[in-house]
Amino acid sequence: MHFCITGTGRCGSKLLRNLFHIHPALFVYDETHWIPKMYEFFGTGEAEVEALINIIRRTNHVTGLPVTELDEARLATDLAGATRMTVAQFCDVLGKSFAQKEGKTLWADKTPDYGPNLQVLQTLWPNCRFVHIVRHGLEVALSMSRHPGFRWMASAQEMWWCPPSFNRYYQAVDTVERPFADFLDLWYRRFQRIRNESTRLHPDSYLEVRFEDLIAAPEGTLTKIAAFVDVAAPEDWVSEALSLIDVRRIRSHAREIEGGNIHPRHRELLTSLGYDWTTQAG
């Protein structure tokens, strides 16, 4: 894995992924969720390749569909008869297979729910770097409150999707209506957990980028991220990426939120991140 995009979810990570996925050298997964389960089962040791593939097959979106569609015939060719591999070796073969299918050479991942697993990823890939995309917490929480996966997490009082995505464990708890404050707290706790996890990473391997800066100053923000993850920023890629950013589709909805729903701890974090919750709320 060359780098990983993480975040609280509903924070602009999909847009950032799409901008880098069109890079001529990069294939970027649109969420995997299965690497922590592989590490849980096998650590850094070798495993049966079929067991690793089976973990992918059993990892699902909230829709019930697999998070990753495998071309198993192509994968069998790329594995060249190997029956046992480490998690990192297997994921590298699979990632490079997806990349080569698109004429690319490097693979990366965008899975916001890897926030508490950054150290695990860096154990598997010591040179991996991490881009944490940050967005106004009120916008994030409001979007969470309208998303089926986050509505389920708030109902189940779960923090991350990776554990319940395996074997459809999310079906064990029904989704119920939750107050907005629960989603704001989910944003808060996920953000703080990512920040905490970042303290255990190698120096200079973690970068925070504001979604608002990506929108307001896209060229400078993209080239900054490209330099951090050690990929070139050719002019044609930057130009194409800028064309994908449609600021007309990005509207603030935070004024819909009542100020009384904002706990002092949420206000403190919003202020520390440079977000003016007093004018956004109420």
- pLDDT single digits (tens) 103-131: 999 999 999 999 999 999 999 999 999 99
Percent of the chain with pLDDT over 70: 93
DSSP state of 125: S
- pLDDT value of residue 222: 97
Average pLDDT over residues 188-211: 98
CA distance 79 to 110: 24
Which pLDDT belongs to residue 248? Answer: 63
Amino acid (1-letter code) at residue 49:
V
**pLDDT score, position 276:** 84
Q: Which residues of 242-261 are buried (b: 16+ CB within 10 A; e: fewer)?
A: eeebeeeeeeeebeebeeeb
Angle at 210 between CA 205 and CA 211, to 5 degrees: 120
Report residue 281's pLDDT band, with 50, 70 and 90 as the boundaries.
very low
- What is the rounded CA–CA span in Å between residue 86 and residue 39? 9
pTM equals 0.95
pLDDT exceeds cutoff 60 at 282? no
pLDDT score, position 250:
67
| Residue 155: per-residue pLDDT | 97
* pLDDT at residue 99, rounded to an integer: 98
Measured between alpha carbons, how far is 44 from 89 in angstroms, rounded to an integer? 10
Q: What is the pLDDT of residues 15-53, one digit of tens each?
A: 999 999 999 999 999 999 999 999 999 999 999 999 999
Confidence of residue 144 (pLDDT cuts 50, 70, 90): very high
Nearest Cα neighbor of 170 from 57, 40, 65 is: 65
What integer pLDDT is reported at residue 258 of this predicted model? 59
**pLDDT attached to residue 278:** 75
Q: How far is CA 255 from CA 23, 196, 268, 277, in A?
A: 36, 30, 18, 10
Question: What's the token pair of residue 271?
Answer: 């202020």
Mean pLDDT (whole number) for 82-92: 98
Where residue 252 falls among pLDDT bands split at 50, 70, 90?
low
Neighbours of 221 (CB within 10 A): 20
Which domains, and CATH codes, for the chain?
A: 3-280 (3.40.50.300)
- DSSP of 32-81: ---HHHHHHHHTTSEEEHHHHHHHHHTBB-TTSSBSS---HHHHHHHHTT
How far, rounded to the nearest angstrom, does the alpha carbon of residue 237 sit from its chain's CA centroid?
22
Q: What element of type H or E holds 217?
A: none
Question: Given pLDDT bands bounded at 50, 70 and 90, which one contains residue 277?
Answer: confident
Q: What is the pLDDT of residue 255?
A: 58
The answer to whether 65 and 59 are in contact (CB under 8 A) is: no
pLDDT digits (tens, 9 = 90+) for 159-179: 999 999 999 999 999 999 999
pLDDT for 187 equals 98
